[in-house]
Structure 1
Amino acid sequence: MADIAELTALIEPEVKALGFDLVRIKLFGSGDEHTLQIMAERPETKQLVIEDCAAISRRLSDVLDEADPIEEAYRLEVSSPGIDRPLTRLHDFIEWAGHEAKIAATETVAGRKSFRGLLQGVDGDNIQFKDVKAGEVSIPFALVGDAKLLLTDALLSATMPLSSDGADEFETEE
């Protein structure tokens, strides 16, 4: 499998050149089935529309074909991070403060590795978190293995779609 840091160095400038922020790169699969997943967003909306995904995919396909950084055959998948998005960058924990999240640490922090509760922001390189069981906890960003927002009414309100044109246009059979 390819090195994620090398892929990031190759992919992030291309995504930025199109005016988007890179959220996550993930390479997964086994055998003959591998997927290179690229999550990106518009800085001003934190979303992508299908045309954005297509533009990123076209640009990255050319770059990846030329550099050939992945030995195995793979499928390129470009998407928005979605509503219950992964939290992958330190500033994600600042931007989404006040929302509920799940965090899995790579090492024990405050006697636990798994946290569920309310993001409270960042202090230096530490995520301030109010866990439903452990209470107030400071989690070093370097120890975050996986983190994502939890789907709540407050999160849905904060992430209204760019356009809902046609969302209420449907036909029913009587």
Structure 2
Amino acid sequence: MADIAELTALIEPEVKALGFELVRIKLFGSGDEHTLQIMAENPVTKQLVIEDCAAISRRLSDVLDEADPIEEAYRLEVSSPGIDRPLTRLHDFMEWAGHEAKIATTETVAGRKSFRGTLKGVEGDDIQFKDNKAGEVLIPFAAVGEAKLVLTDALISATMPLSSEGADEFDTEE
């Protein structure tokens, strides 16, 4: 498998050149089935529309074909992080403060490796978190293995659609 740091160095400048921010790169699969998943977002809307995904995919296809950083055959998948998005950058934990999240750590923090509760913000390189069971805890960002927002009514309310144009313009059969 290819090195994620090398892929990031290759992919991130291309995504930024199109005006987007890279959220995550993930290479997964086994045997003959591999997928290179690129999650990106518009820095203003925190989402992507299908045309954005297509533009990123076209640009990355050319770059990846030329550099050929992955030995195995793979499928390129470009997507928005979605509403219950992964939290991969330190500023994500600040930006989504007040929302519910799940965090799995790579090492024991406050006697645990799994947390679910409310993001409180960031203090230096630590995530301020109010866990439903452990209470207030500081989680070192370097210890985060995986983190994502939990789908709640509050998150849905805070995440506005890119456009509601045409939302009430549909035909129904009576």
Partner of 1:108: 108
When the two structures are superposed, what TM-score results if normalisation uses the length of structure 2?
0.97
The SS at the match of 1:139 is: strand
Higher alpha-carbon deviation: 136-145 or 163-172: 163-172
Deviations for 1:15-35, whole angstroms, at most 9, x for unmatched residues?
Answer: 000000000000000000000
User: 3-state DSSP class of the match of 1:161?
Assistant: coil
Task: Name the CA distance, whole Å, in 1 between partners of 2:154 and 2:3.
Answer: 37
Deviation digits for residues 135-162 of structure 1, max 9, x if unmatched?
0000000000000000111111111111
> Equivalents in 2 of 1:27, 1:173: separation in Å?
44
1:125 corresponding residue in structure 2: 125
Q: CA deviation at 1:164?
A: 2.0
Q: Percent identity?
A: 90
> How many pairs align?
174
Mean CA deviation greater in 26-35 or 158-167 = 158-167
Q: Look up the match of 2:31.
A: 31
Query: What is the CA–CA distance in structure 2 between the aligned matches of 1:168 and 1:102, rounded to whole Å?
Result: 35
Q: Distance in 1 between matches of 2:109 and 2:65?
A: 42
Per-residue CA distance 1:54-78 (angstroms, 9 max, x = gap): 0000000000000000000000000
Q: 2: distance between equivalents of 1:85 and 1:48?
A: 13
Aligned-residue RMSD, C-alpha: 0.9
Aligned residue in 1 for 2:162: 162
Structure 1: segments with no counterpart, 5+ residues: none
Residues 100-155 of structure 1 show CA distances to partners (whole Å, capped at 9, x for unaligned) of 00000011100100000000000000000000000000000000000000011111
Deviation string for 1:65-102 (max 9, x for gaps)? 00000000000000000000000000000100010000
